[in-house]
Structure 1
Amino acid sequence: MSHRPDARPEPTTCSAFSARLDEPLPGTAPVATTWLAIEQPGPWGARALRQSHLDPEVGAQLEQRAEGTGLRIALIRRVGRHALTAADEPRTVLLCDTRPGSAAVRSTAFTDPRELLDLDLASLAAGRIDAGEPVTNPVLLVCSNGKRDRCCAQFGRALALELTRADPAAQVWESDHLGGHRFAPTAVVLPTGYVYGRLDTGTALAALEAARRGQVLTERSRGRSTWSRPAQSAELALRAELQESDADAIRVVGEQRVGASGHAVELVARDARYRVLVDVAPAARPRPESCGKVFGTPIELRVTEVEKLA
């Protein structure tokens, strides 16, 4: 039986507010065309790359090199294993391109964190992944960084533990910040880059199984990180319109502003072109974007029109 981990969220948590207000998920994924996931056991701070047992100088340099490239760096750790390991024990590095037609994950390892500085981040950001060995099964990174938000720690860690018990063969990692605490539990499937929110065990396993078949589970999807936020929302709406599950079947080919709050996104699917209008505006009702933060009105994205052009 599938259920949301650790019962219901407390009514004062950011995820409880978001769920109660039925905040739309599409268009809320972090934007990243490529990912670099680095195994770092032990505790993480709110800014994990600089606040963990990873050499902070290495973390700062990686962060600086990745800025503005479309590459997102995440720390990961094995589910349930937060104790530090021996300094010379090999650790995993995942390198991922999420773009349709070239989506892939490769895995390599390091013992000295300074080896990470030898990675060609510019090439990785451009989708050229040469290091490591191919990873044939999809990978799920579940946000569990409690220093960023207690919802991620409580619900994310519980989900990761349930998934490893339900399917010990599944490639599941705990991850630091994926954005969108108020959608916890939240996770990203690699290599496609589809991000999910308000996950339960059954939906997470279904998303992994779909990815194994080269498909996409749109239920509870926040969007494909490959695209901008309006394009994420548009792509999911077109998938629903066409009942299309093939991961590579839809591509975003253009986007422009329309009026004060609209975005027109052009997509290609099944040898046809489509135009999807997305309204981007502050939420009408305030809510906390993270636990303990003041109430605000985050941007909500709503599709207003799907039109076939040719």
Structure 2
Amino acid sequence: MFIIIPGSLILGFLFADALGSFVKWVPYLFAFVTLTMALDCGLSQIKLVAMRPLPVLWAMLIAHLLLPLLAYGIGAALFGAHSPYTVGFVLFTLIPFGVSSVIWVGLSGGSVPLMLCLVVLDSALSPVLVPAGIQAIFGQGVEVDTAKIMLDLLIIVVLPTVIGVALNQFSKGRINPAVKPYTAPIAKLCFVAVVLLNSVAIEPFVHQLGSDMVKLIPVVIVLVLLCYAAGYVGSLAFGSKELTATISYATGMRNISLGIVLAMGYFSPLTAVPVVLSILIQQPAATLFHYMLNKLNKRRHLYHT
């Protein structure tokens, strides 16, 4: 992914003129990615949310209340309260948890079923959380077609999620192993296509950035790292390494492809720039956090023994 994602961005810029007519495919490509994710989740796993409501609620509060306010404060201080970059920072913290967080949670000793449920639940709530968060923070300073955002999120996120969970349930979990050899590579190609086509869409506006990139890149790096740090610190009170890994990756990894779709569809194209940059940072940050988490867990173990 370290090679493919930056490569996709570069190819999008280089072949923007040839690929411009395909940008309209992005919502449908994203809907397929969402569907493949949901095929791995059944009602029995979703019941975990009801069994462990406090960690779920706490992760949601950190991700979609604390971090958006923090992102707004950083953006407003550096670029202005209603700058498209500030909207992009806030949008990054409001979009749902990323599907790839499930992989990192598994590698780090977290709860994979709980993380999967968090992804599905957060995606299902996104038609309410995203427009409500933007309106609550920016008010009338940013014009948002709330009804259209909600409708489109229902179509490209909630509907594929419901279909995927229903298919998993009706097949008693057999559908995902049967179709995964085919759907998994196609979903990855769709994700790459989403990144590629959105870089095509923002290419005409990149020349407007100029010196802003010097400030934007460090701020995005700091914001992504703060998302991991907030989840880690906020989860320590539970005293569980499993929940610490789960909540940290939940707050740290976001559904960037959805963020780009929303930024390009409903805001200034410059709003998408911080979201696009976060693609390049989120996965390397996950690797760094995995290393640090292992070190911290070893220290805690030595301290308690």
Choose between structure 1 and 2: higher strand proportion. Answer: 1
- TMscore range, shorter length: under 0.3
Choose between structure 1 and 2: higher helix proportion. Answer: 2
